[in-house]
Amino acid sequence: MTGSWLLLYCRAGFEKECAADILEQTGRLDVHGYVRTREGSGYVQYFPQAEGWVRQREKIRFDDLIFARQLIHVLAELDALPPKDRLTPLMSAIRATKRHYSDLLLETADTNEAKSLSSLLRAFAVPLRRALEAESLIGHDQAPRLHVFFPSGTAALVGLSEHANASPWPLGIPRLKFPRGAPSRSTLKLDEAFRVFVPHPERELRPGMTAVDLGAAPGGWTWQLVQRHIRTIAVDNGTLDPVLLDSGIVEHLRTDGFRYRPAKPVDWLVCDMVEQPLRIAALIADWLVEGRCRRAIFNLKLPMKKRYPCVMDCHALMMERLGTARRSGRVAFRQLYHDRAEVTGYADCLPSRL
């Protein structure tokens, strides 16, 4: 692995949270550095001190980051690119990395400001790819991906991402199509959450499993469960889309989501209720330690200020509850593309071995 500093994509407006995220993780590895951010830019730059970086950089885990959409090790920085010939200096910089790559990703920030660069990227993509292919620099299956990121029309960052330690999607964004018949756009949040948090859906989202959806109405999350043929109890005082009831595998209960408990344990608990984050985290922890569910996906609506500390408090609360109950499991959070001022959480729980 080579790379002198890190580039992280994030949701515009969450640069401070993304910066706090990478500083927290590198701090745990005893690596010291600083971040450079600009509010609304959609990305964060992390510059480590040389001491300890070479030894620890491979321990940076993308899956442990909450607000980062992508993790890129920057290899070269180019300024003042000539508008009439960007290809020559870029190819020179890529050759100088002395590496081969599996694929090329030309990217810019996911912001309205950066949309003006989309035509440049489209026009530049074919010539750069052809030049790389001519020198056999891309097309190597096991190699990392090559990223060329344009913060502006005259500057570019050349970097790489490892397949096993990065998002699989360009810009870290899964392009999901809103499914016909789904009751609400919130359905895309659960669809994305399953793709992010469930590595083996054939085992973990099998037909015939059981689930509870707290705060279900109008049924966007229940719809995702129904599509996977999972029998679902939808809990909400609001109205559920009648099509879901027609499926024959959905039961609608008009009751308080905080008070409800199933008669038997279920495979999945999903929850998209609008409530204080700590209260949601405590509720999910209760279900896990009581053995009411095996796995849970839930949404936390974040406050306007201190958003990163809020998520850390929720994580600490859940881990403390699991530890007190002598239960082991995983608790993870990620700000998904389809989240807004919120994050999505995943948790599972297994009995501890005495």
Distance CA 233, CA 172 (A): 32
Q: Pick from 162, 8, 4: which is nearest to 77 by CA?
A: 4
DSSP category for residue 237: S
Order of strands across the sheet that contains 104-107:
33-37, 43-48, 5-10, 68-78, 155-161, 145-152, 104-107
Distance CA 336, CA 83 (A): 35
Q: Which two tokens stand for residue 68?
A: 């980062």
Q: Which residues face 155 on adjacent strands?
A: 152
CA 324 to each of CA 215, 269, 277, 318: distance values in angstroms, whole numbers, following the listed order:
28, 21, 21, 10
- How many C-alpha atoms does 27 have within 13 Å on its Cβ side? 8
Q: Pick from 310, 243, 299: which is nearest to 272 by CA?
A: 299
CA 12 to each of CA 6, 16, 301, 304, 318: distance values in angstroms, whole numbers, following the listed order:
18, 10, 17, 14, 28
Cis check for the bond before 218: say yes or no (omega within 30 of 0).
yes
DSSP category for residue 101: B
Q: Say if residues 26 and 93 touch (Cβ distance below 8 Å).
A: no
Residue 59 annotated to the active site: no
Question: In sequence order, which residues have a C-beta less than 8 Å from that of residue 18 and are 6 or more positions away?
Answer: 8, 10, 37, 44, 65, 67, 68
**Active-site residue, selected from the candidate residues 59, 98, 115, 301:** 301
Question: In sequence order, which residues have a C-beta less than 8 Å from that of residue 309 and are 6 or more positions away?
Answer: none
Active centre residues (catalytic): 301
